[in-house]
């Protein structure tokens, strides 16, 4: 868990806000078509393309519960902080879940999100963040909107609030951030572990896991939560010895290289660490701790 301003250092780094119906289920943000959906013309992709273009300078925006589909319990709440890649295209190219695809049919275009953070407490704009009204969401129901004064006020209200990475919201397996604005067809850009670039990313990921300062900090935090002992965050194995545990890097570097923080790593025993990489559908997109735990539980129950 980190502070909002550790992820977004200033209001100038925020693209804006967007109204959403709820919490992210998959790593996408969807928009309606503004052109001919059948012909997939330029207008069809316009809202997703504009968001991808803005993300090159201001990749983060805040999602706020709004619109006719949002549950009353989330209406007007600052729900998540998300980071956008430059990849955009058909929603169906990125969304895996069949039921979610059906629900998103009226929003046929999307951008891929590389990071999703839950905002602690999901505060209400009006009652908890100091806003007099919901005007910050004007015209933000099918686009990311930025009213400078209101975004300044929002950043100031959120800057010291905790945010926590939602690691369960995973990028499409093997997805490779193009690093620029790019229209993606039915096959999104993937990074092959056997390619020279794939090997480079894998090597960098391993170097981060071996970074002495990051390892010390993540293990110190783990000990603080577990009475001085180290505990595997997947299987629960516990021991006092530092050498019995590894630091595991959760952030798929194929999603775009950035400076790693301690919250990008967790503590795993060597067995679970191997599972996280070897049992993943793609070696460059490791399993989360909960996925490793589920896999181990299934194996033990067989």
Mean pLDDT by 10 residues, the chain (302 residues): 94 97 96 89 94 96 95 97 95 89 92 96 97 96 97 98 92 78 70 56 65 85 94 95 89 58 87 87 76 81 62
The predicted structure's pLDDT at residue 296 = 83
Which neighbouring-strand residues pair with 27? Answer: none
pLDDT at 225: 92
Region of residue 214 (phi > 0: left; psi between -120 and 50: alpha; otherwise: beta): alpha
Tokens of 285: 């997109």
What is the pLDDT, as a whole number, of residue 232? Answer: 96
Q: Does the pTM exceed 0.85? A: no
Beta bridge pairs of residue 2: 163
Number of other CB atoms surrounding residue 271 within 10 Å: 15
**Given CA atoms 2, 232, 252, 145 in this order, what sign does their dihedral have?**
negative
**Which tokens belong to 231?**
């505990």
Domain ranges of the chain: 2-184, 196-301
First to last CA, the chain: 35
**Integer CA distances (angstroms), 101 to 25, 94, 147, 171, 193, in order:** 11, 10, 31, 16, 29
Torsion angle of the four alpha carbons 41, 47, 49, 52, in this order, in degrees rounded to the nearest 10: -170
Q: Residue 163's closest CA among 26, 294, 5, 283?
A: 5
- Run of H or E residues at 100: helix 98-103
Q: What would the two tokens of residue 120 be?
A: 């602690």
């Amino acid at each position: 868990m980190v502070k909002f301003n550790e992820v977004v250092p200033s209001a100038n780094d925020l693209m804006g806000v967007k109204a959403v119906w709820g919490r992210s289920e998959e790593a996408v943000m969807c928009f309606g078509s503004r052109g001919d959906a059948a012909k997939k013309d330029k207008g069809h992709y316009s809202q997703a393309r504009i968001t991808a273009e803005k993300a090159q300078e201001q990749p983060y925006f805040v999602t706020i519960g709004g619109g006719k589909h949002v549950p009353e319990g989330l209406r007007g709440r600052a729900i998540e902080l998300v980071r956008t890649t430059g990849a955009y295209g058909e929603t169906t190219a990125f969304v895996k879940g069949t039921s979610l695809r059906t629900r998103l049919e009226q929003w046929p275009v999307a951008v891929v999100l590389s990071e999703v953070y839950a905002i602690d407490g999901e505060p209400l704009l009006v009652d908890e963040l100091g806003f007099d009204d919901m005007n910050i969401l004007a015209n933000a129901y099918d686009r990311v909107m930025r009213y400078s004064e209101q975004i300044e006020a929002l950043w100031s209200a959120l800057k010291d609030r905790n945010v926590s990475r939602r690691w369960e919201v995973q990028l499409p397996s093997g997805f490779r951030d193009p690093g620029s604005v790019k229209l993606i067809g039915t096959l999104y850009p993937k990074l092959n572990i056997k390619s020279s670039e794939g090997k480079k990313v894998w090597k960098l990921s391993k170097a981060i896991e071996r970074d002495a300062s990051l390892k010390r900090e993540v293990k110190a935090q783990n000990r603080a939560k577990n009475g001085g002992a180290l505990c595997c965050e997947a299987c629960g194995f516990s021991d006092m010895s530092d050498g019995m545990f590894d630091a595991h890097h959760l952030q798929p570097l194929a999603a775009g290289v950035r400076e790693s923080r301690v919250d990008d790593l967790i503590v795993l025993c060597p067995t679970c660490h191997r599972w996280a990489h070897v049992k993943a559908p793609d070696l460059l997109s490791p399993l989360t701790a909960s996925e490793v735990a589920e896999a181990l539980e299934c194996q033990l129950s067989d």
